[in-house]
Amino acid sequence: MGLVLCADCKGIVSDAARACPRCGAPRPERARKFLDVSARPIFLILLALSAGVAYASMRLFVPPQQIVDQSVRLREGECVTYDMRGDATLHVEVNSVSKPVDVVIAERNPIETACKPTRDGASSGGYSVPLISRRRVRTLVTNTRLPSGHFGLTVMRPKESLLFEESAQVSIRVARD
């Protein structure tokens, strides 16, 4: 306990007293300390929880970064490849209006980067082991987590006939979280 001065008579009053013993003037409400020693752990826990909730809500409401938003026309045997960095979650949407396409997401092989069809009409695309490989799809919507590294997305219109080389209109959207 400490001693303070009375605001009215300037007499010495205990800080625990509710009124001045000399003049009877009531002491104003004691100013509460910002944090009592007993309230500090609870305050720190609440502060940490609110910071965690704020960080999580920011991550939820931040729109994904659009990497690819393109519409292409692919003839039979043609492909298009997009390079991307890993260590992220990708949201991939591929829609082919008239004909099916092949979609591959795989780690890039630095030696071979071109979209080169092989003898059977498939494309190696300069890839090693694919993370996603879908053949003959008209619609593909997927979320995939890429590990760190360099990756590529290849969309290919496979060869179907020798006489009629029909093309397909393909829309490709890739967003990164």
Instruction: Give the pLDDT of the chain (177 residues) as one tens digit per residue.
Output: 678 888 888 888 888 888 888 888 887 655 445 545 566 788 888 999 998 888 877 766 777 788 889 999 988 888 898 888 888 888 899 999 888 899 988 887 644 444 554 444 444 445 566 788 888 899 999 988 888 888 888 899 888 766 666 788 999 999 887
d(C-alpha 155, C-alpha 139), whole Å? 12
d(C-alpha 125, C-alpha 78), whole Å? 11
**CB 129, CB 107: distance < 8 Å:** yes
Ramachandran quadrant class, 58 (left: phi over 0; alpha: psi -120 to 50; beta: rest): alpha
